Amino acid sequence: MCGIIGKAGVGNVTPELLEGLGKLEYRGYDSAGIAVLRNGRPERVRAVGKIANLRDALDKTPLEACVGVGHTRWATHGAPSEANAHPHNSPDGKFTLVHNGIIENADALKRTVLADDKEWESETDTEVVAHLLQKFYTGDVVKALAETQKHLKGSYALGILCADYPDTIFAAALGSPLIAASVEDGSCIASDVGAIGGTLSEVYKIENREICMLTRDEIRFYTPDGEPCEKATVTVVPDALSMDKGGYEHYMLYEIMQQSSAVRKTLEPLLAGDFDLGFDDAFVRDGLKEIRVVACGSAYHTGLAAQLLFERFCRVPCRAEIASEFRYADPVVDEGTLTVFVSQSGETADTLAALRLAKERGAKVLSIVNVRGSAIASESDAVVYTNAGREIAVATTKAYSAQLAVFYALAVRFAAARGTIDEARRAELTHELAALPDKIQEAIDRAEAPARKLAETMAATQDIFFIGRRLDFAASMEASLKMKEISYINSQAYAAGELKHGTISLVEQGTPVVSIAMDGGMSDKTHSNMSEVRARGALTVAVTGDKNADAFADADVLLTMPDTDEWFTCSLAVIPMQLLSYYTAKNRGCDIDKPKNLAKSVTVE
Ligand code: M6R
């Protein structure tokens, strides 16, 4: 995953590189490093852990030069150590480079083309690129890079310094995002436009093995074969990347608190009928044979809810699919299939690959994305943006809620187009949807104190189970992921009726089992399942709507949320669960915004 940045400028570029790396830290924080060329000699400083550690290291060993590259790492090959931290050098010290992506054939290259190379500084796949450049270099970096690329399989965005070109950065990319841009005092590359300071609007997207050469005064492009070529800029509207925490201790809590507004801003245009789906209601009524929702992690969990909405309420077959499975499943999709790709970042490698496959096979491609101009958004037939604002905490909250809201609006529209609801029901649902942001706020206000209190008990537990049926099961999946990703407690979600088919054997005296029962049509059944675990000593926590509160009064801990329509319950069920995870993680002293081993944007498969 990793983030890379580089600048050929006028003054000392290190402070800017460091600041840019801070903005790229969402892509990984296992280690970080910067290299510069000073008087034609590469100098680098690297540190294990977050950018703050690199900053400290740079205080002790300052780097000052007007050309440099930087990297923040999410480890794929080799432990998060200083030796494995980028930038990496070629054995002769001529090349120094940073890389985002994975060189899939690194081991094969070491056995073949690079079989004579015995000196390896690191366990990374990246180092082979430095060795290949050295091998093919005869004075022309562009030619060496063209030859090197012929040997590389996988994905990469590369920023390269060469000691013989003291004022230049070379760059190339395949399947990993990389932009180049002219700024007031030089030229930059970065994995994300947001990492470059100032107000950029025109950038070059480096793609398909293109080679780029940047000096402070110009940016030149070359074909994969190393021939000079012209390239046009694209206009970007970078998302404002505010690092403000709104006065909260963590981004995650701030983002939980922003959910009402995120959902309101997402729904506003949709409730006003402002959909650009790339197809019309006639297709939804007559042409639509099947929907596949494809995504990863929490975004996939919104698909679990969408699957029920589209099948139960719109009577169209729908399956939620994990993108990393879909892309290799040889799926049967065609022009009657609507594939919906859901992603906060718009960059998730598996989701993007799945999208390309669906497109290739002729399916309609709609995406629900938060980051404007991201790869998934750009490659879709149509995009519905979630207007959640940039999300910084690794654990998603407001983007998840906004994605759900888009599915609600789509489901109401599809149901109306297919005639599975009448006008009166449509008006009722639309009215309830408009009320959802306020109900989310009420849910937050109600859940905050009890979730914080319950978290005192949860912090000491080893295992937690979340159970629910239908939409409550979809909410349980999300609740469980939230808990495990930030508190490191082993948590599992089960369809409530499935528990007794094996998992109930794990329930012991005091094991917390959270029953989500917001779906009125299923609450009796879920209550029975709650009783079953209680009979085996579980600590029972129930999440339900006001209407069902009496039925769950026997739970050890009862969290009641405002009632809403059956279609929209997921949005309210997750609120106390997000808060519970947050406070549990806080009580356990976890690094809430940057949990171990994770990154915000998963750009490798
Ligand atoms: O950027 P995306 O929405 O495509 O990311 C998908 C998942 O990586 C993401 O939802 C992940 O599961 C979150 N950390 C969950 O909180």
Tell me the pLDDT tens digit for each residue of 441-452: 999 999 999 999
* CA dist list (Å): 138 to 143, 144, 345: 8, 7, 40
Residues 224-228: what's their mean pLDDT?
A: 97
Write out pLDDT tens, residues 559-580: 999 999 999 999 999 999 999 9
What pLDDT score does 605 carry? Answer: 78
Q: Residues 581, 584, 588, 593: what is their CA dihedral angle, to the nearest 10 degrees?
A: 30
Ligand 1 mean position to 255 CA, how many Å?
Answer: 15
What pLDDT score does 150 carry? Answer: 97
Residue 443 shares a structural domain with residue 406: no
- The SS3 of residue 144 is helix
d(CA 330, CA 326): 7
Residue 264 shares a structural domain with residue 139: no
Ligand 1 atom closest to Cα of residue 600: 14
Closest CA to 14 of 53, 43, 49, 47: 43
Assigned domain for 330 exists: yes
d(CA 233, CA 292): 34
Assigned domain for 483 exists: yes
Number of domains within the chain: 3
Residue 110 shares a structural domain with residue 57: yes
Is 219 buried (19+), middle (13-18) or exposed (0-12) by CB count in 10 A?
Answer: buried
Last residue of a domain, one of 387, 421, 455: 421
Q: Domain residues for 121?
A: 3-241
What pLDDT score does 397 carry? Answer: 98
Residues 484-508: what's their mean pLDDT?
A: 94
Examine residue 87 and say whether the peptide bond preceding it is cis (omega within 30 degrees of 0): yes
Q: Is the CB of 388 under 6 A from ligand 1?
A: no
Adjacent-strand bridge partners of 385: 369
Q: Provide the terminal-to-terminal Cα distance of the chain, rounded to the nearest Å.
A: 9
What pLDDT score does 241 carry? Answer: 58
What pLDDT score does 244 carry? Answer: 81
> For residue 94, which phi and psi values (nearest 5 degrees)?
-75, -35
Write out pLDDT tens, residues 80-100: 899 999 999 999 999 999 999
In the β-sheet with 463-468, what is the strand arrangement from edge to edge?
490-495, 463-468, 512-517, 539-545, 557-561
- The CB-side HSE value for 564 (13 A sphere, CA atoms) comes to 26
DSSP string, 244-306: --TT-SSHHHHHHHTHHHHHHHHHHHHHTT----SS-HHIIIII--EEEEEE-HHHHHHHHHH
Residue 600 annotated as catalytic: yes
Token pair listed for 582: 């947050």
Residue 169 amino acid letter = I
Residue 212 annotated as catalytic: no
Ligand 1 mean position to 232 CA, how many Å?
Answer: 32
Write out pLDDT tens, residues 18-61: 999 999 998 999 999 999 999 889 999 999 999 999 999 999 99
Whose alpha carbon is nearest atom 9 of ligand 1?
297
Residue 369 shares a structural domain with residue 404: yes
What pLDDT score does 240 carry? Answer: 56
- CATH number of the domain within which 120 lies: 3.60.20.10
Assigned domain for 604 exists: no
Write out pLDDT tens, residues 400-411: 999 999 999 999
d(CA 326, CA 257): 34
Assigned domain for 215 exists: yes
Q: Identify the helix (H) or strand (E) that includes residue 42.
A: strand 41-48
Three-state SS for 488-553 is: CCEEEEEEHHHHHHCHHHHCCCCCEEEEEECCHHHHHHHHHHHHHHHCCCCEEEEEEEHHHCHHHC
d(CA 596, CA 580): 19
Assigned domain for 276 exists: yes
In the β-sheet with 364-369, what is the strand arrangement from edge to edge?
318-322, 290-295, 337-343, 364-369, 382-385
What pLDDT score does 119 carry? Answer: 87
d(CA 155, CA 514): 41
**pLDDT classification of 156: cutoffs 50, 70, 90:** very high
Q: Is the pLDDT of residue 462 over 80?
A: yes
Residue 139 shares a structural domain with residue 16: yes
Residue 231 shares a structural domain with residue 278: no
d(CA 164, CA 185): 22
**Are 110 and 166 spatial neighbours (Cβ–Cβ below 8 Å)?**
no
Assigned domain for 247 exists: no
- The SS3 of residue 353 is helix
Q: Is the pLDDT of residue 238 over 70?
A: no
Q: Is the pLDDT of residue 1 over 90?
A: no
Write out pLDDT tens, residues 289-312: 999 999 999 999 999 999 999 999
**pLDDT classification of 224: cutoffs 50, 70, 90:** very high
- CATH number of the domain within which 544 lies: 3.40.50.10490
Ligand 1 mean position to 404 CA, how many Å?
Answer: 14
In the β-sheet with 41-48, what is the strand arrangement from edge to edge?
41-48, 31-38, 67-73, 3-9, 186-190, 179-183, 202-205, 234-235
Q: Is the CB of 577 under 6 A from ligand 1?
A: no
* CA dist list (Å): 592 to 250, 456, 578: 7, 16, 12
Residue 138 shares a structural domain with residue 99: yes
Ligand 1 mean position to 600 CA, how many Å?
Answer: 7
Residue 288 shares a structural domain with residue 212: no
Ligand 1 test: best mutation among 345, 407, 478, 600, most atoms within 8 Å of CB?
345
Assigned domain for 398 exists: yes
Q: Is the CB of 394 under 6 A from ligand 1?
A: yes
Assigned domain for 598 exists: no
Q: Is the pLDDT of residue 416 over 90?
A: yes
Last residue of a domain, one of 393, 421, 449: 421
- Rounded to 5, what percent of the chain is helix, strand, coil? 40, 25, 35
The mean pLDDT value of the chain amounts to 95
Residue 29 shares a structural domain with residue 152: yes
Token pair listed for 313: 């309420």
Q: Are strands 234-235 and 202-205 parallel, antiparallel or unpaired?
A: antiparallel
**pLDDT classification of 375: cutoffs 50, 70, 90:** confident
Structure-token match 């799945």, residue found: 354
Residue 289 shares a structural domain with residue 417: yes
Q: Is the CB of 345 under 6 A from ligand 1?
A: yes
Residue 364 shares a structural domain with residue 459: no
Residue 102 shares a structural domain with residue 228: yes
